[in-house]
Homo-oligomer: A and B are copies of this chain.
Amino acid sequence: MSTYEARLAALREQLKADRLDGFVVPLTDEHMSEYVGTYAQRLAWLTGFQGSAGAAAVLPAEAAIFVDGRYTLQVRDQVDGRHWSYQSVPETSIADWLKAHAPDGGRIGYDPWLHTSDWVVKAREALASKGAELVAVRRNPIDAIWSDKPEPSKASLVVHPDKYAGKSSAAKRQEMADWLRERHADAAVLSALDSIAWTFNVRGKDVDHTPVALSFALVHDDGTADLFVASEKLGDDVRQHLGNGVRIHERSDFEPHLASLSGKTVVADPERAVAAIFEALESAGATILRDRDPSVLPKATKNQAEIEGHRAAQARDGAALTRFLHWLSIEAPRGGLDELKAAAKLEQLRKQCGDLRDLSFDTISGSGPNGAIVHYKVNEETNRPIEMDSLYLVDSGGQYPDGTTDVTRTVAIGTPTSEMRDRFTRVLKGHIALGSALFPEGTRGTQLDVLARQFLWAAGIDYAHGTGHGVGSYLAVHEGPQRISPAGSSQAGGDEPLRAGMICSNEPGYYKTGEYGIRVENLVLVVPVEVDGAEKKMLGFETLTYAPIDRNLIDSDLLTAAERQWVDDYHARVLEIVGPQLEGDVKSWLEEQCRPL
């Protein structure tokens, strides 16, 4: 019996012992984090699936794994089809599948620390139609059988200095207190890890590429707070930094502590706080105010110090990327380069540029056809040489104490085809249209998304991902609440009004399966714009990312005069910002790349 077959059998035994007829296994942690620590990777342990999103449902005689379109091939590769049926989301939800397969009157378990209330309500309804019951487990049955389950990370917290945060934690908590009092609420639950890091001006190392720490918090209407975090993570400097206004508890004290909120009005965010939190508050006799986590909007609208920090980090990051592109231009034609080597070199150059704490995500390093796989993750098996007359796409970023970066460049190795240049230029035109947009306050991301797609649509093509996401300040590289995406997108955020201080990515692309991928990404800052004769307050985008765009891929004939000017102006700014950090050959190369078209 294979490892995974044995684990599935063991789970079924455990479920019998727990008097359950089934169990749901999502890929989340207690904080609905985008990336999940190894201690929480139950889906991978049980099924072998290594993708970043998915879920499974186990019944006595059947089991199913649910993944979206990104992973259709990967799941069949990694998960044994003899024991697991493959289900596609969003076409088939877990609730749908359970409704069809659960035994009548069955008891289906779920871990209330790993699902939102919304999910619980829908699943409960679906099962009710079969007379089946959704049952919250007190202990996750997988934890009972996963004998060598890793411990959560023990990394220490560090202080995030006010010079980067731009506002003290006490001031942030005071503003949240005002917000609470306006709503006649006593406290708010913070369970999203980046919300907590931002609110307390601390950083951690408990999640890959995101400097946050496993924790929970309550912020009160007097500005004080309770912070629930493993005490071993807190050195004296952090305790002193947190100060008297923050009462420190063990992370495991969070659920019991909620019981003390009887009679209080507590804000909990239905999109961020897991079902167990809502259930604990209800049991405690608290009044729940379902509203967004009050740190989300201030975290998204960067203050002056955060903005200056991002500009500084981007300048250094741009220099590192520029050095990489120069190195690539020399090494690639020589042969012998591959995706892994390139990614490693880029990481090394970022480390050298100053203050790199981590990458902000696993570098997407896609040569030729691999560039067409939108969420491509290179490893030893998939690693491909970088070859002549192909496109190389690299999407990468860093975590610096003053800012988080995320940038994509597509370069032609050797001679690109005219089709590649046509597609690249259409992508670039879209990037320019979005980056140059002026729009009134209150405009949502869904309203602007078409600006980036329109030149691809004119050729009957498109890209199957959003156009832009928010970015944190030495926090998550994918940060809400805003998104620039099509209406009706499955991911929320496109209808959040854009505000000055928000940072968004601007990343249209085009992917020809089996051949090549193109993406042009800069980060942009939403800024107020003074327009002569304006009748409304207008916003626009200031570019934060500066690195050369491959002129060999630009078909100038497809650009309007204004678009050519945009490219020339952009490259002139690259020279101003990145140039002084370079010298010798690299600098001369950059000057050549940044010549007017």
Chain A interface residues (CB < 8 Å from chain B): 437-440, 442-444, 446-451, 454, 457-462, 486-488, 494-495, 497, 531-536, 538, 560
Contact = CB atoms under 8 A, between A and B. Distances in A.
A444 B531 CA distance: 30
Contact of A440 (B443, B457, B532, B534): B457
B457 A487 contact: no
Nearest to A461: B535
Nearest to A510: B535
For A443, A451, A462, A487, the residue with the greatest tally of chain B CB atoms inside 10 Å of its CB is A487
User: Ordered nearest first, which 4 A-B pairs have the shortest CB separation?
Assistant: A460-B534, A460-B531, A444-B487, A446-B487
Contacts of A462: 440, 535-536
Nearest to A539: B457
A457 B438 contact: yes
Contact of A438 (B442, B458, B560): B458
Q: How many copies does the complex hold?
A: 2
Nearest to A446: B487
A185 B450 CA distance: 39
Nearest to A422: B533
A199 B488 CA distance: 29
Contacts of A457: 437-440, 538
Contacts of A536: 460-462
Contacts of A458: 438, 531
Contacts of A488: 442, 444, 495, 497
A439 B457 CA distance: 6
Given A444-B487, A449-B447, A487-B444, A459 B534 contact: yes
A439 B453 CA distance: 9
A422 to B, nearest CB: 10
7 contacts: A438-B457, A438-B460, A450-B451, A459-B533, A487-B487, A487-B495, A488-B497
Nearest to A494: B487
A242 B23 CA distance: 56
Contacts of A494: 487
Nearest to A458: B438
Contact of A538 (B460, B486, B531): B460
A589 B21 CA distance: 82
Contacts of A486: 443-444, 447
Nearest to A534: B460
Given A460-B533, A488-B497, 4 more contacts: A442-B488, A447-B486, A460-B536, A461-B535
B454 A534 contact: no
A531 B455 CA distance: 13
A487 B458 CA distance: 23
Contacts of A531: 458-460
Contacts of A446: 446-447, 487
A497 B454 CA distance: 17
Contacts of A487: 444, 446-447, 487, 494-495
A460 B535 contact: yes
For A451, A457, A534, A536, the residue with the greatest tally of chain B CB atoms inside 10 Å of its CB is A457
A428 to B, nearest CB: 18
A125 to B, nearest CB: 15
A424 B121 CA distance: 52
Contacts of A497: 488
A447 B450 contact: yes
A193 to B, nearest CB: 29
A440 B535 CA distance: 34
A410 to B, nearest CB: 19
A495 B462 CA distance: 19
A460 B540 CA distance: 11
Contact of A534 (B437, B447, B461, B495): B461
Contacts of A443: 486
A450 B433 CA distance: 12
A437 B494 CA distance: 21
A459 B560 CA distance: 20
Contacts of A533: 459-461
A495 B532 CA distance: 33
Contacts of A535: 460-462
A497 B560 CA distance: 31
A489 to B, nearest CB: 10
A398 to B, nearest CB: 33
A513 to B, nearest CB: 10
Contacts of A449: 447
A479 to B, nearest CB: 20
A492 to B, nearest CB: 13
A456 B560 CA distance: 19
Contacts of A448: 450
Contacts of A532: 460
For A446, A448, A486, the residue with the greatest tally of chain B CB atoms inside 10 Å of its CB is A446
Contacts of A440: 457, 462
A457 B560 CA distance: 20
A479 B545 CA distance: 45
A281 to B, nearest CB: 21
A533 B426 CA distance: 14
A488 B496 CA distance: 9
A459 B530 CA distance: 10
A205 to B, nearest CB: 38
A450 B535 CA distance: 17
A321 to B, nearest CB: 30
Contact of A450 (B450, B460, B495, B560): B450
A538 to B, nearest CB: 5
